[in-house]
Structure 1
Amino acid sequence: MVPEVLLALLGVPGEVITLVPATSDGGQERFRVSPDLPFLEPPERASLDRLVSLGYAFRCLERFVAREDEAGTTMATLPSGPDASFAFNAPASGGSLYRRALAAGVSEVLATYESAILRLEQDILRGVTPALPAALESALSGFALVLPALHVTLRPVIERPDLKGAPLLHHLHAAALAAGAPQLEAALRSLRARCYRAMYQQLLAWTVHGVLVDPHGEFWVRPVEGAGGDGGVYLGDFDESGAAKATGALGGNAPGDDGGEREWHRGFQVSLEALPPGVELPAAEAVLFAGRAVRVLTRPRGEFAGGSLLPDAVASRATEALRGLARVEGEGNDGEFDRLAFESTVEGIRAPVAARLGELVVRDAKLAKHLEALRSYHLLGRGDFFQSFFEEAASLLAVPPRANTAEADVAAPFAAAASKSSASDDPLLPRFRLRFVSPNQGVDDTGAGAGGSNVQKRGPNVRVPSYDGWDGLELEYATPWPLGLLLTRSVQRRYNHLFQYLFRLRRAALALDDAWFALRRKSASGTLRWTTTPGSFTSGHGVKGFGGDGAFQLCQRVRHDMAFVVNNWFTYLQVDVVEAQYRAMIERVEASEGDFSECQRAHRAFLAALTAQSFLDLPSVSDVIETIMRLAGNLLAVVKSLPSDGLGEGVGEETADEIEAIGAEFSRQSAALYTVLRSNRLANDPKAPFLRTLLLRLNFNGYFFDNAAKTSSGHDAGGSDAPSVRSSASSMKSFRSGWGEAIPPMPSLSLKRGI
């Protein structure tokens, strides 16, 4: 009988120790002593039943180990270099690195148990140990608690092949905390340490070589499938020259000209569900950062192509740090995961990689020069260039764009302006080009059309005021590698919001300047006499419907008031917002000492401040500015339609009504702007300090708000509410368009008072 008991202890049932199958009423499969042995006393039978339960646990655990070994036979060896294949990134249907590591730990426990059974057999044969159930049970007492408990703990793992990765580690962690017995807790910690060792192998491949070895989707760094609406995942497929191979369109640039954006921002992300116990989100993001930085530094492109930019010493230190951490946790810490040691090791790996990446982006790639170029062109900082451009493109912008040729049409004045201004010596100017996206040409990432003459909504909280049919103009910037890490498509969209805003405001201001020149030319041929006071006329003739002022004087007064608001608004944006925030950002970048993360935060803060202080996130303000800009274009069209004799006899009643309507509408918009800017909501808003700067510019002599307050009180006295911004914007459709075209009339405004 003893040989059969010993075989049963190794998981092999026979005639004496039989396998009892599971029953339908909930009875579980188990080993038991055959009931056909009458010579066994009940105590001996009970002792043998307890003893052979070890054999059944061994049988189940051994089958688990064999199954995991079989599932892992197709696994390739660990990649060890930066040029390793990326085939390890695709999740496989079965298997698990963590389960294989667990199976290896269980195999060690079973091997120890097998050795104990062999020693017991030898002791029985030599007569050292009596062949009695009690003696056998006493000899194997060290396994009586651990082996069955391990089987019970791992039963969910055995029954669920999909329990792997972080859920498996959480299961082992909870089991170790609930173990109670020191022997069982130590065994579970040892098994958990085995799984963590697999995690460290993945960590080593990712943070040292930039290779994601995760065939079963268990690591917390995951490839981004599809990358949203911006194309497929970019996983480092390069040609011989070091440029990215074509994988799909990306904006207006070739796929290889994204500046490294897809690799950095769209390739990988942290999966919260895959975080194991003890690994917090900041540490996981530090690991993500380190791996992405290694991928960037070991696969340079563009002018940096030719070899790895990551020093070998950095990779060697990171390798030693991770191996030391795994060794300490596996041997010197009883398998307990040390969170502080892990985070310290991760930071020790991240810091030198981040320093080298920051050095590459800030110093080697000359980040400051590219930021200066974006300020000069996207934010209209190079004034002489844009002044030349508007002069060259004046006739082109005065007529509606032709969607098929608009982009080519503006290219000529853009190039001419470059040759006639200080931009002629700018080596970065060729990276900029004007693009025209008509409303019907496509939809941007936010779902809004990229162009249009009415409402333009870019992003969830940004509204760029519209001006005319040339609203589809955008400024594209070809980002060099590795600046795509910082200047992403999303960032360039935000720059384009500001470019279009400033560009349209500047066009409105130029329209008002053109109206002034047109009035002066027309008056020069008539009897109107100019005074030394800007905006004033004297004339011996009156105009019907205008009292004694005359059409020319009324146009000039309306133009002067509009120009005051538009020019001060534009000056506020360029001086108090763009210039001030740009200097603050440059100071932060210089003080960062090449820290890439700090540079990224400084640039994000810069863009956020520009959007907030420009009030682009307040639709009510954007609506007012949009209407005022369109009024400027309408006023220019009216001025051009005035007779050139300067007397005004040819000014008809319809034109007179139109001039008065423009002036009255501007007064209403001034009142609306006054109401919004002085509202209690904005007074308690974080924008309040910047709002005071704007109010100081607009109201330094008290005229703007005094006039707006009078207009507002006039409405109140008349029993009507304050003007609605959106309704007044729609009423502009009754005016003449900016190109002198007739627009279907709206209901008559019947406004017969001056400003």
Structure 2
Amino acid sequence: MLHEAVFALGGYPGVLSSEDEEKKDIFIKHLHPCERVLLDRITRVAADYLSLKKFIDKNICAVNAKDSFDTSEAPCGIGGYILAFCKALYNVLQPYREDVVSLEKEILNDPFLPLSHVTYRAEKHALFLNVLNRMVNQLSLEGLHGCQVLGFLRRHLPSSEIKDAVGHILYNCHVFFYKQLTSWLLYGHLMDKHKEFFIEHRKDLSIGNSVSLVKSNCGSYATEVNGDNKVMYPAFCDYRINFSMLPPYIPASVAYKILFTGQTILMFGNSVGDRKFSESQKRNISIWGSKEEEFLHKLQELQNLPTFDLNKFETTMNEIRACVTEHLWHVAVEKAELFQQLQLMKDFFLLGRGELFLMFIREVRPHLTRNASAQEVNQAFQIAARKVLWADESALDKFHFVLHKREQSLPGERADKSEITSWDHISLQYKVSWPLHLLFTDETLECYNMLFKFLLRVKRVQADLHNMWLEHNIKACKTVGGNVFQFSVWQLCTGLTFLIDNLQYYLQADVLESQYILMQNTIQNSQDFEKVQQAHAVFQSNILSQTFLRISSTQNGHVSDGTQSVVPSNTTCRTEVNQVHRRLDQILSLSENLCECMQKWSSPLNEEELVELLKMDEEFTSHVRFLMQLLFCLRSEPCGAHLSQLLLRLDFNRWFSHSTSSS
């Protein structure tokens, strides 16, 4: 009976550990009831140990107490974390196994030991084994694996009964975690064939469709080079955070830094660069320099800590990230000519070179009266560049126009006139230089195109109004009696011209130029590429808001014009129309309509044309009145400084305020 009890406690097959209840009944039916109680208590301890032993056997295929048990490669599809768990579990059960061996020796030396002694020796481990067994059962029931095991163990760490055991198991699992982390951070290699790490490689998504953005304080990244649909930087963008695997004690902000660091290392090692950065050049660009050994040592120190220290962990991650971002800043600024590229983005997308696009409008307009091709539009742009004596041919190579159709118009875009619709089909694309694809992502370039379309429209309307005035003066000089059109036509034209001219000045001087200088100063005063990304993101967000292409936090009030109230603030670019932009769009549309009508109106105006003019004049008064009301109401909001500036530009002498209030 004593030997059967020891066999059961050791996890070996026997009568007490058998699932055959009939054999057990035959074995214990002649025992005293007190002995049956003692055996039952021994059996419960043995059952807990046997369950743990089966878990270990199932996951590592063979129990081996040697320290050479390797967790770096998992057999039979078992993950490294479960293997580390099993190895540590085997180790923490060693005192129990030694106690069973010691008990067996006692029984061999004294065959008359009472069963109560065996029960006493076994029950010293009862609570320990029972808590461990319940923990392992829960782990299996929840189907946890990979980094999920770390969070699971962390939750059980405060348990006083098994705190040391759980701490040892967690330490062993952290050893494997740091192997994966070191491989990713220092070499850009994801050592994760069983998908256990919190950073994952998305092999299931096609590269062309993976315009996936990793948005964080580390910036946004995209995959596709615009214009030719070729994937230039596939390795960088195909990784993301799997939050279901992220240990709960590691903040998301730190996880994003880890993701960014490994992606950058991977990018420098595997990216397909442009002509300026050949593969041989990039291999010679050393990110770590002499710091690789230093960071390796720091990661080893973190691994050797008995418990996970978040402060030390975050400090080390920040140091590694800072080294990477500083190196990336030097490459982007010095080798990829970041400041020159930002200036080009301003010159082209933001119409910083107004004379170039004024000439482009003149050259491309004849092509847009029919179905123009992208080649014709680009040829018109090349001609415009030559006429304004544009000297930087390399800059022109980076930009080209494409024509496309939209199923849904952007806020303020019109689809009712053939020429206007044709203008809306034009998009400007930019060939991104490596590694500036981290800064100028697909989403960023899409927002730049929104700005480009709006600014080009304002520029075009302004040019058309001035051209109409010039044509009128020429005709007036050749016409007996002077004026070609009635005074009321020119009064409307003058009012619209005044508004558009001041809107143009506000956009270019008060918004774009001032915000660009702020961004430029921030970048110049930093040697951290992440801060470059942040500065650029703030720059684009501000100009989108201040050019009224995005709902800003200033629009909290409600000003009704009888048709629609001002919508609450929103951070997206397209979901809701900014109400200031809506009114400006109506004024631009009115200007476009007036220019078209003046091309075909007779002199003097007939009755039908007078009615049309009167309707336009009423629309102008209505739009201006509501715009003034809107600006007055919203300028006092916390973020309404730019609205006050626009109001000052449009109504500096209070003429609109007085005229609209009296009407």
Q: Partner of 2:219 in structure 1?
A: none
Q: Which runs of 5+ in 1 are unaligned?
A: 24-29, 80-87, 236-246, 330-335, 457-465, 530-536, 538-549, 715-755
Aligned positions of 1:126-141 closer than 5 A: 131-137=113-119
Aligned partners of 2:644 and 2:20: how far apart in 1? 83
Q: Partner of 2:227 in structure 1?
A: 252
The change in CA–CA distance for 1:217 and 1:32 in structure 2 (over 3 A counts) is: farther
Q: Deviations over 1:375-401 (max 9, x none)?
A: 00000001222232233234335x2x4
Q: Deviations over 1:34-72 (max 9, x none)?
A: 31443xx55554444433444322322121111111499
Question: Is residue 602 of structure 1 aligned with residue 569 of structure 2?
Answer: no
Partner SS for 1:213: coil
Question: Is residue 311 of structure 1 aligned with residue 271 of structure 2?
Answer: no
Partner SS for 2:400: strand
Question: Is residue 176 of structure 1 aligned with residue 157 of structure 2?
Answer: yes
Aligned positions of 1:501-580 closer than 5 A: 501-529=454-482, 551-580=485-514
Q: Deviations over 1:123-168 (max 9, x none)?
A: 54456x97443444555565344233322332223455x2224543
- Does the 8 Å contact 1:638/1:659 carry over to 2? no
Aligned positions of 1:150-161 closer than 5 A: 150-160=132-142
Q: 1:658 aligns with which of 603, 609, 612?
A: 612
Q: Partner of 2:622 in structure 1?
A: 668
- Does the 8 Å contact 1:573/1:614 carry over to 2? yes
- Does the 8 Å contact 2:336/2:436 carry over to 1? yes
The change in CA–CA distance for 1:126 and 1:483 in structure 2 (over 3 A counts) is: same
Q: 2:241 aligns with which of 253, 262, 270?
A: 270
Q: Partner of 2:553 in structure 1?
A: none
Aligned partners of 2:637 and 2:207: how far apart in 1? 34
Aligned partners of 1:492 and 1:31: how far apart in 2? 76
Partner SS for 2:125: helix
Aligned partners of 1:102 and 1:148: how far apart in 2? 17
Aligned positions of 1:315-326 closer than 5 A: 315-326=292-303
Partner SS for 1:676: helix
Aligned partners of 2:148 and 2:373: how far apart in 1? 57
Aligned partners of 2:211 and 2:358: how far apart in 1? 42
The change in CA–CA distance for 1:52 and 1:633 in structure 2 (over 3 A counts) is: closer
Aligned positions of 1:191-270 closer than 5 A: 191-224=169-202, 231-232=209-210, 251-257=226-232, 260=233, 263-264=235-236, 266-270=237-241
Q: CA deviation at 1:433?
A: 0.8
Aligned partners of 1:32 and 1:280: how far apart in 2? 56
Q: Partner of 1:543 in structure 2?
A: none
Q: Partner of 2:414 in structure 1?
A: 453
The change in CA–CA distance for 1:528 and 1:424 in structure 2 (over 3 A counts) is: farther
Aligned partners of 1:324 and 1:576: how far apart in 2? 53
Q: CA deviation at 1:311?
A: 2.5
Q: Partner of 2:350 in structure 1?
A: 379
Aligned partners of 2:24 and 2:313: how far apart in 1? 44
Give 1:485's aligned amino acid.
L
Q: Partner of 1:590 in structure 2?
A: 524
Question: Is residue 346 of structure 1 aligned with residue 337 of structure 2?
Answer: no
Q: Partner of 1:189 in structure 2?
A: 167
Aligned partners of 1:33 and 1:287: how far apart in 2? 62
Q: 1:409 aligns with which of 359, 370, 376?
A: 376
Highest CA radius of gyration, 1 or 2?
A: 1
Question: Is residue 50 of structure 1 aligned with residue 41 of structure 2?
Answer: yes
Aligned positions of 1:295-444 closer than 5 A: 295-300=266-271, 301-302=273-274, 303-304=276-277, 305-306=279-280, 307-308=282-283, 309=285, 310-311=287-288, 313-329=290-306, 336-397=307-368, 399=369, 401-402=370-371, 405-439=372-406, 443=407
Aligned partners of 2:141 and 2:204: how far apart in 1? 33
Q: Partner of 1:473 in structure 2?
A: 426
The change in CA–CA distance for 1:345 and 1:619 in structure 2 (over 3 A counts) is: closer
Q: Partner of 1:701 in structure 2?
A: 653
Partner SS for 2:401: strand
The change in CA–CA distance for 1:438 and 1:234 in structure 2 (over 3 A counts) is: closer
Aligned partners of 1:201 and 1:32: how far apart in 2? 52
Partner SS for 1:433: strand
Q: Deviations over 1:527-579 (max 9, x none)?
A: 234xxxxxxx5xxxxxxxxxxxx724333322211110011101110010000
- Does the 8 Å contact 2:358/2:459 carry over to 1? no
Partner SS for 1:424: coil
Identity of aligned residues (%): 25
Partner SS for 2:18: strand
Aligned positions of 1:24-39 closer than 5 A: 34-38=27-31
Aligned positions of 1:710-721 closer than 5 A: 710=662, 714=663
The change in CA–CA distance for 1:227 and 1:609 in structure 2 (over 3 A counts) is: farther
Q: 1:108 aligns with which of 75, 91, 95?
A: 91
Q: Partner of 1:747 in structure 2?
A: none
Aligned positions of 1:64-79 closer than 5 A: 64-70=55-61
- Does the 8 Å contact 2:147/2:247 carry over to 1? yes
- Does the 8 Å contact 1:166/1:277 carry over to 2? no
Q: Partner of 1:620 in structure 2?
A: 579
| Superposition TM-score, scaled by structure 2 size | 0.84
Aligned partners of 1:605 and 1:95: how far apart in 2? 46
Q: CA deviation at 1:344?
A: 2.3
- Does the 8 Å contact 1:451/1:472 carry over to 2? no
Q: CA deviation at 1:587?
A: 0.5
Q: Which runs of 5+ in 2 are unaligned?
A: 64-68, 214-221, 551-576
Give 1:19's aligned amino acid.
S
Aligned partners of 1:473 and 1:578: how far apart in 2? 22
Q: 2:256 aligns with which of 273, 276, 285?
A: 285
Give 2:334's aligned amino acid.
R
Q: CA deviation at 1:675?
A: 2.3
| Superposition TM-score, scaled by structure 1 size | 0.74
Q: Partner of 1:753 in structure 2?
A: none
Partner SS for 1:475: strand
Q: CA deviation at 1:21?
A: 6.5
Give 2:452's aligned amino acid.
F
- Does the 8 Å contact 1:514/1:636 carry over to 2? no
Aligned partners of 1:33 and 1:173: how far apart in 2? 45
Aligned positions of 1:626-645 closer than 5 A: 626-642=585-601
Most deviating of 571-580 and 304-313: 304-313
- Does the 8 Å contact 2:4/2:14 carry over to 1? yes
Aligned partners of 2:580 and 2:121: how far apart in 1? 86
Q: Partner of 2:568 in structure 1?
A: none
* Number of residue pairs aligned between Structure 1 and Structure 2: 617
Partner SS for 2:390: helix
Aligned partners of 1:263 and 1:421: how far apart in 2? 41
The change in CA–CA distance for 1:147 and 1:624 in structure 2 (over 3 A counts) is: closer
Partner SS for 1:587: helix
Partner SS for 2:513: helix
Report which of the two has the higher share of helix: 2
- Does the 8 Å contact 2:428/2:449 carry over to 1? yes
